[in-house]
Chains A and B, each alone.
Chain A
Amino acid sequence: EVQLVETGGGLIQPGGSLTLSCVASGFTVSSNFMSWVRQAPGKGLEWVSIIYSGGYTSYADSVKGRFTISRDNSKNTLYLQMNGLRAEDTAMYYCAKEYGSSSVFDSWGQGTLVTVSS
């Protein structure tokens, strides 16, 4: 059974850094396209970043230069390092697995909440 479990969220001051983790089971992270998607309070879902099976990465303009997606193949874990956090980064962050290369997210974690506030 495919399972994704995110951790690492919390309360952080503006300008601070945080690293989110997503432990996967039931499939191999490095063989799949993996994304981070977030949902700010009262807003819709927003795609944040993707790491392709080949290792190439891509980011939403809103986080480019501040966030870094990576993975640890030995731990079957996806990461999102977030630097220079802003109030507008406050959101529930989900990791999601794509079905093939379809840009359809067929498995999601339950999310981890990041709150950026002083």
Chain B
Amino acid sequence: QLQLQESGPGLVKPSETLSLTCTVSDGSISSSRYYWGWIRQPPGKGLEWIGTIYYSGSTYYNPSLKSRVTISVDTSKNRFSLKLSSVTAADTAVYYCARQVGTTSDYWGQGTLVTVSS
């Protein structure tokens, strides 16, 4: 059974860079069938797609975040990562990583809460 696990700091200071990693277990991130994405959810609010990466390194980003987002993949470690720069309190959210078939997310990590605060 495929598993995804987010990891990274739970607290980030304003103006700094949020960095998260998603480690994939019991499945290969190099499969040509899948994409790998990041989605976030501010407390009490809805879902917002951040971006998606293919194992080859091709990326797709939410236009509203594009200037601040970088998603990368490390196939040797079977993981992919998110960096979001210049964070503010509005970036406080639960961050999920997910496997995507096309653009549908069929496996999700449990999510990790990242709080932006000084």
Tell me if chain B binds chain A: no
